[in-house]
Chain A
Amino acid sequence: MALQIPRIAFSDHTLENGLRVILHENTRTPLAHLSIHYGIGSSYETAGLSGFAHLFEHMMFQGSENVRKNEHGQHIDRAGGRWNASTNKDRTNYFETVPAHFLDLALWLEADRMRSLSITEENFENQRQTVIEEKKQSYDNRPYGLAFLRFDQLAYSNWAYAHSIIGEVDDLRKATLSDALAFHKQYYGPGNAVLVLAGDIAEAEALKRVQTYFSAIPDRTSVQRPDLAEPQQGEEKIETMRDPLAILPALIIGYHMPPLGTPEHYALSLAALILSDGDSSRLYQRLVYENNWSTGLFAGPNQYRGPQLFRIWIEVQQGISPQLLLDAIDEELERIRQDGVSERELEKAQNQVAHRFVGRLARVSQVGEMLAQYTSYYGDPDKVNSELENYLSVTREDIQECVRSFLKNRNRTLIIVEPRGEER
């Protein structure tokens, strides 16, 4: 297949205060995407303050020296832009996609809340309530939600990844305004941030604009990356949970595997596509298409910067024993351990990766987020340009070897979700 995939061009700068700045110019549409990734996620939290990194993300919209509560979003909305933020286990990101002529506005807003935070007890209480409702909406009141929260807790021995991003309600209730102010000082400074501008920007001029807004912000951060090391699992962990909101049973399975960006990650990502992506995949064919034991399934690494889990999620048809599915999965994995995957399967998985990669280049916001993530996780934005090659150089032997090493029952965590019983 003759395919020319454009290289993502960028320039890489570090301001004197430590702010890493990555610029990517693309003038197709008059849009600019600003992304800031701070090196703080739930894995950095301390016991007793679970959920704080995410709660704090909410506080970043509650006011800074020159921007009052909720004005951040209003300024961007008034410019016709889009804004949001998210917290995961490894980082917190904030972004704005604006018409290119509003680039200065986005820079000013982000600089203001990096430099200063102006929040009140009342705002803090309000966001605490909001986050508790977010937990209910996303987990407690959703079928299988509590099983998902439980899963990392059961699978990981290291608290850093074991506890959830949303946190325990008791911990959320304990958090204080002064915790928030101290958190801002510790993590939210130029030395712990990566700023990416992508889109219709003139690079030299854009760098000057960044300097104008950010260079006077002193760096007061003191960040130690958490120890994410995960001890080897000795034996399989199994739990059964009853979910009164679920109508169908489900299985959540996880096998410990190496971090994002390792050769094993690329090999096992392709194994996941061969197992579960598309109607021709092995598990879909056997569990869904041929036998109708499942209504849907998904497999793949959980995309953590540190030690990952290769997760399999399966919704089970009514009246089917979960054990039947577990046995079938074991058999399918054994087939790969014994015979490997075919050349055609490998080619298929690599074609899928290539297509998706090209798809992500369609929007400057997605290109900007990719650059920010590679810089934030590895300090190297250029990794984005070798990413596809990392998948394309995986061999059949690599996949077989990784399935043998990692996808084995001793290394497995399993939650069986039983649905509610009698109709009430």
Chain B
Amino acid sequence: MKNPPAPGLVRNVTFPEIPAAQLDNGLTVLCVEDHHLPRTSVIVSLPIGRAHDPDDLRGVTQVMGEMLKEGTESRTSREIAEDLDHLAIDFGCEVSMEQTILSVTQLHPNLEEGLELLSDLMLRPAFPDEELTKVKVRWHGHLVAQRSDPNFLASERLSLYWYEGHPYSKVSTPIEHLSNMTPERLRERHTDCFAPQSASILFAGPISLGESVRLSQRFFSNWTGEAGIDNGLPDVTTRRERSVHLVHRPDSTQTRLLIGLTACSRLDQAYTQFKLANQIFGGGASSRYFLNLREDKGYTYGAYSSLKAYRQAGLLAAGASVRTDVTSDAIKETFAEMEGMCSGPPEEQELSRCKAEINGAFVRGLESPSSIGSLELTRRILGLPYDFYRSYIPAIEAVTPDQVSALSKRLFVPDEAAIVAVGDAAQISNALEEFGPLAVYDQNGKSVG
């Protein structure tokens, strides 16, 4: 057969209705009922993240989350570890820029034990001093080790520059901040963050909303307190000038490039248009950037771009790990592809492929009740409209070539790009200087020229 076969009959898929209820203490209870497997996730979402960490305590919410399982009023660290592991209850605490997620996932017959542990950890943590000392030593090791990773160094440098002075720059924890993390300050942080009125608890698995409410009442109705911090953030000053940053990583055998451009906030009306522009440029392995840098030039194993959008601002970051001797060529080709995005609207076929890629990924996410639940919790944190995910596919489909073109002219401006390169300075500084005055940092983030 010479030509690809025609598709069969489409079976549409929709984002499910997610019923909600509220407890007397203000806690919102949500449920994604799905009886396919005997496994249930319980996810608690709080509207506080790294961006809300105090300036001298960057990373404190994450450390506080880590400390929850190091002792409660009635359990020691060892007992918590034993109780979680024995019933294979996966406990997690993930702190992103503007949200904190605590969760337990377990086989359904162990749900009550999982909930009892989750409520004990969340509501009655003890923050023992000796455990905190141990956690800080472990964290110190992680913070040291991550400085050998070129991907971490590149994204840290880009964020520190891009959001300089703004809470969004708090992507990493300076080692010296660990010593400020005392039991008292963690307790204070806990009180500030954990408030039922601003939290949601979502059950995903073979369970009804009624049962979810009953269990929430049993384990969380004595949760009290009011959030002690305002989670509003200052305005972001937009970067619109060329800059070049080199993180010197001795003995590197490649250059890790990351090139940032001003994009849009997650709440921007044009967000879906930005998502499509990103997909056309570098969102996947059929995108222009990948086809050029890898499939045409062979500079790299992979070249991609991504849209990192927060509530108030966002950036598009394009990057690749490239052969050291083509550092300059790779940047030039990145710019050439950006200019290509401004030279006219995308072909209808290219745009429709990108729409299908975005919508396809969305549909695959609907296979798992806990990923549906996570989308819903994020929608609530961001304050997106109720039907945001039910109208997601039509909103992507509605974007036109002209909209992408108009937006690309504002977005893909090489003269406004921040170029970050992580590599061996002796090998690549000359190549980078072609693109502007160089700011050089060592692996510890210290400015060295």
A residues contacting B by CB (< 8 A) are: 1-6, 28-31, 66, 69-70, 73-75, 77-82, 97-105, 108-109, 125-131, 133-134, 136-138, 140-143, 200, 213, 244-248, 277-281, 285, 288-289, 292, 295-296, 315, 317-318, 344, 347-348, 351-352, 354-356, 358-359, 361-364, 420, 423-424
CB distance from B446 to the nearest CB of A (A): 10
Query: Are A133 and B38 in touch, CB under 8 angstroms?
Result: no
Besides A2-B109, A245-B252, 11 other A-B contacts (C-beta < 8 A) = A28-B367, A31-B367, A82-B361, A97-B364, A133-B321, A136-B301, A200-B11, A246-B148, A351-B107, A362-B36, A362-B37
Nearest to B8 among chain A residues (CB) is A101
CB distance from B5 to the nearest CB of A (A): 4
A-B contact count (CB 8 A): 226
Query: Are A136 and B8 in touch, CB under 8 angstroms?
Result: no
Indicate if B399 sits at the interface (CB-CB under 8 A). no
CB distance from A380 to the nearest CB of B (A): 24
* Contact for A141 among B7, B145, B150, CB less than 8 A: B150
B residues in contact with A285, CB < 8 Å: 78, 81
Query: Are B81 and A80 in touch, CB under 8 angstroms?
Result: no
Considering only CB atoms and an 8 Å cut-off, how many residues of chain B contact the other chain? 83
Proximity string of chain B (336-350) to chain A, C-beta cutoff 8 Å, 1 when within and 0 when not: 000000000000010
Interface-facing stretch out of B117-125, B193-201, B289-297, B407-415: B289-297
In the assembled complex, the Cα of A210 lies from the Cα of B108 at a distance in Å of 38
Instruction: Pick the most buried of B6, B11, B78, B252: most chain A CB atoms within 10 A of its CB.
Output: B11
Query: Are A317 and B84 in touch, CB under 8 angstroms?
Result: no
B residues in contact with A108, CB < 8 Å: 1, 4-5
B residues in contact with A246, CB < 8 Å: 148
Indicate if B434 sits at the interface (CB-CB under 8 A). no
A residues in contact with B11, CB < 8 Å: 30, 99-101, 200
Q: Evaluate whether A77 and B85 lie within 8 angstroms (CB atoms) in the complex, with A28-B367, A137-B301 already known.
A: no
Query: Are A292 and B8 in touch, CB under 8 angstroms?
Result: no
Instruction: Pick the most buried of A70, A108, A109, A364: most chain B CB atoms within 10 A of its CB.
Output: A70
CB distance from B235 to the nearest CB of A (A): 37
A residues in contact with B105, CB < 8 Å: 359
A residues in contact with B322, CB < 8 Å: 133
In the assembled complex, the Cα of A118 lies from the Cα of B251 at a distance in Å of 39
In the assembled complex, the Cα of A388 lies from the Cα of B261 at a distance in Å of 49
Q: Name 6 A/B residue pairs within 8 A (Cβ), A-sorted.
A: A77-B356, A79-B7, A80-B359, A109-B4, A141-B253, A279-B80
Query: Are A280 and B78 in touch, CB under 8 angstroms?
Result: yes
A residues in contact with B299, CB < 8 Å: 129, 133
Query: Are B284 and A77 in touch, CB under 8 angstroms?
Result: yes
Query: Are A82 and B286 in touch, CB under 8 angstroms?
Result: no
In the assembled complex, the Cα of A130 lies from the Cα of B299 at a distance in Å of 7
Query: Are A29 and B7 in touch, CB under 8 angstroms?
Result: no
B residues in contact with A82, CB < 8 Å: 360-361, 364
